Structure 1
Amino acid sequence: MTDPLILVNPATGTFELTDLRSAQLPVTDLSAHRGDGIFETVLVSVGAHGATVVSRERHFTRFRASASALDLPDPDQGLWDRVIDSLIAEVAAADPENVEFGIRYALSRGEQDANGAFRGRGWAFPVPVDDHIRTAREQGVTAVSLDRGFDAYIGSKAPWLLIGAKTLSYAVNQAAGRYAAANDADEALFVSHDGIVLEGPTANLIIRRGDHLLTPNPEAGLLSGTTQRLIFDHAEDLGLRAEYADLSLDDVKAADGAWYVSSMRTAVALRELDGNAISIDQTLTDRFQEIIRGR
């Protein structure tokens, strides 16, 4: 099957293979008109020893934490592992030469029945590493800073904002991307209302300052990054020290290197912010990409 989709029934712990091109999601599903659900996107790297799901455990841990934040049923890791492995097998069978692709898996609150109970629904499908991603890896990106609309660390006082959850409600993230494009930038960079740098709409930020790798503290109001933590795991091997820190826009502009990191893009250099050029560390960019892709 060239366009596989796996539909998951969380209640029964079962799943079925179907075609991504056919209609599957009822408009009454709460993910369709409320974004009431969660998702993860993992990178699959295929090498001589088979397929590796990059940061598989970390992604699922975050998936489970997001479910808890939204009061969704606790996802069954065994079920979702089987779903991912089955989808990898389908992609491999359709194109044995495909050595790198993503898998997006999601869990919706589903539909509400006449008794007020919810019937959850899950799904998973492959995502290609397209030319846009490859160009970003090779050439880096530019960004424009945008006010996120809330002060840093507000999540501890307002947990209902779901700041640390990876939900399907991505309208603001998409709007930020369109605003950036309309202002001749590749990406947006969210900043808290009181001036603390947070994240991109779909990526975490890492900067280098001397022998330190620095990234914003997730508790400041951003998603805890699986790719960012993978890079931090290898900081000592790179001769660097990794720390979480509150960063200003000036800190980013004056950095010895800056990167947007995410599962699909791996690590892409941030070469310009608000029209200000940022130093490029190509050697470290290459090493980050190798580490993430396991090569």
Structure 2
Amino acid sequence: MTLPVLLMLVHDGSSVTAVEERDPALPQVGVLDLGVTRGDGVFESIGVVGGRPQALEAHLARLVRSAELLDLPRPDVDVWRSAILRGIEIAGSEALESELLVKLVLTRGLEGGSAPTGWVHVFDSGDYSGDRAGIAVVTLDRGYRSDVAVTSPWLLQGAKTLSYAVNKAALREAARRGADDVVFVSSDGIVLEGPNSTVIALLDGVYVTTPPSLGVLEGTTQAAFFADAEARGAAVEYRAFTVEELRRASAVWLASSGRQIAPVVSLDGVELSGDPASTSETLKRLLAR
């Protein structure tokens, strides 16, 4: 077994001086690293299908944006890109035969230090067949208004940070309610996003998703979904929409880098019909991109 693969990006100050393959079974990050003690860092997860990293440039751009929002040193995208491709190359035949994930992590580094910590981790993504067949979802109040990204930018809405305690708590709450996943809703009733996904709804024949200006993460798989829909002549739109609209949607999906798209078959305990044939065909095209 080649997987998992771990490449540490060794920093001197804000600059990467080396990319070293390390044993992922051995300790590599210090206990005083602020990514561990404070969740002070950012990350990206990139799907790999047929040896191809999906939406690589979009993920790198999002890593840079997240780092900027946290005032972290700007990642050198050329170095990170090279490390990603090297990790996939080391994975060898497994990258061609299985769906993989590449996780990029950049933390503020050791408390009191001056250099960030960074690594690239390549691993088997696991079996998403169950989620791709359909998931039950509950809506949960995120506790912020939909304009929070403008009124309170220090809350870091729209950054992909390591601070996932709230997201994990929301998923546990979903499990307590007998559901698989969550759609966060703003305190003023606007659909936002999932803990690790983008919401797409088919409303009156138009594919709709929440705009990043409302503090949601810009979705890479959602962007590919929209590009596919437009190529088929369908209409797409970025706009705010309400929970009531979501409940009357012809179909709803949660989009993410690993599972690609997961059709929502139940929302707050109410069955949704969806379009299994359309989902299956779209999934094939997304996996082939």
Report the alpha carbon displacement of residue 65 of structure 1 after superposing the two structures with TM. 0.3
Measured at CA, do residues 281 and 34 of structure 1 come closer, stay the same or move farther in structure 2, by a change above 3 Å?
same
**Does structure 1 residue 136 correspond to structure 2 residue 140?**
no
In 2: Cα distance, 1:193 partner to 1:264 partner: 29
Report if the CA contact (8 A) 1:14-1:79 is conserved.
no
User: Pick from 204, 211, 229: which aligns with 2:205?
Assistant: 211
| Distance in structure 2 (CA, Å) of the matches to 1:141 and 1:2 | 29
C-alpha distance in 2, partners of 1:145/1:96?
Answer: 35
Deviates more, 1:196-205 or 1:276-285: 276-285
> Which secondary structure state, in structure 1, belongs to the residue aligned with residue 264 of structure 2?
strand
- Judge conservation of contact 2:48–2:95 (CA < 8 Å) in 1: no
Deviates more, 1:185-194 or 1:210-219: 210-219
Write the distance in 1 (CA, Å) between the matches of 2:162 and 2:72. 13
Asked if 1:53 corresponds to 2:47, the answer is no
- TM-score (norm. length: structure 1): 0.92
What runs of 5+ residues in structure 2 fail to find an aligned partner? none
> Bigger shift: 218-227 or 4-13?
4-13
Separation of aligned partners in 1, 2:180 and 2:19: 38
1:170 aligns with: 164
Question: How far 1:163 sits from its partner (Å)?
Answer: 0.3
Partner of 1:64: 64
SS of residue matched to 1:73: coil
Q: Relative to 1, partners in 2 of residues 1:96 and 1:110: Cα closer, same or farther, differing over 3 Å?
A: closer
The one-letter amino acid paired with 1:220 is L
CA contact (8 A) 1:261 1:268 kept: yes
Tell me by how many angstroms 1:248 deviates.
1.5
Who is 1:111 aligned against?
A: 110
Asked if structure 2 preserves the Cα contact closer than 8 Å seen for 1:231 and 1:291, the reply is no
The residue type paired with residue 272 of structure 1 is S
SS of aligned partner of 1:105 = strand
1:100 aligns with 2:94: no
CA distance, structure 1, for counterparts of residue 17 and residue 219 of structure 2: 28
Alignment pair present for 1:155 and 2:149: yes
CA contact (8 A) 1:92 1:98 kept: no
Q: How far is the alpha carbon of 1:96 from its aligned partner?
A: 6.5
When the two structures are aligned, how many residues end up with a matched partner?
A: 285
- Structure 1 residues 127-146: Cα deviation after superposition (integer angstroms, max 9, x where no partner): 32323x22101x21011110
The whole-number CA distance in structure 2 between the counterparts of 1:141 and 1:61 is: 30
In the TM superposition, what are the counterparts of 1:240-251 in structure 2 within 5 Å? 240-251=234-245
Partner of 1:20: 24
What is the one-letter code of the residue matched to 1:118? S
Letter in 2 for 1:23: P
Corresponding position of 1:126: 122
Whether contact under 8 Å (1:255, 1:279) holds in the other structure is no
- SS at 1:111 equivalent: coil
The alignment's C-alpha RMSD in Å is 1.5
Contact 1:197/1:248, CA 8 A, preserved across alignment: yes
Moved more, 84-93 or 192-201: 84-93
The one-letter code matched in structure 1 to 2:287 is: R
Q: Which amino acid aligns with 2:42?
A: I
Cα distance change of structure 1 residues 97 and 155 upon mapping to structure 2, 3 Å threshold: closer
> Using the alignment, how far apart are the partners of 1:237 and 1:175 within structure 2?
38
Letter in 2 for 1:122: G
- The 3-state SS of whatever aligns with 2:8 is strand
Which one-letter code corresponds to 2:116 in the other structure?
G
> Which residue of structure 1 lines up, in the alignment, with residue 248 of structure 2?
254
Equivalent residues of 1:54, 1:292 under 8 A apart:
no
Could you say which residue in structure 2 is the equivalent of 1:30?
34
Of residues 222, 226, 236 in structure 1, which corresponds to 2:230? Answer: 236
Q: CA deviation at 1:233?
A: 1.6
Do the aligned partners of residues 97 and 82 (structure 1) sit closer, same or farther apart at CA in structure 2, a change above 3 Å counting?
closer
1:183 aligns with 2:177: yes
Runs of 4+ in 1 over 3 A off after TM superposition: none
Shift of 1:20: 1.0
Which 5+ residue runs of structure 1 have no aligned equivalent?
A: none
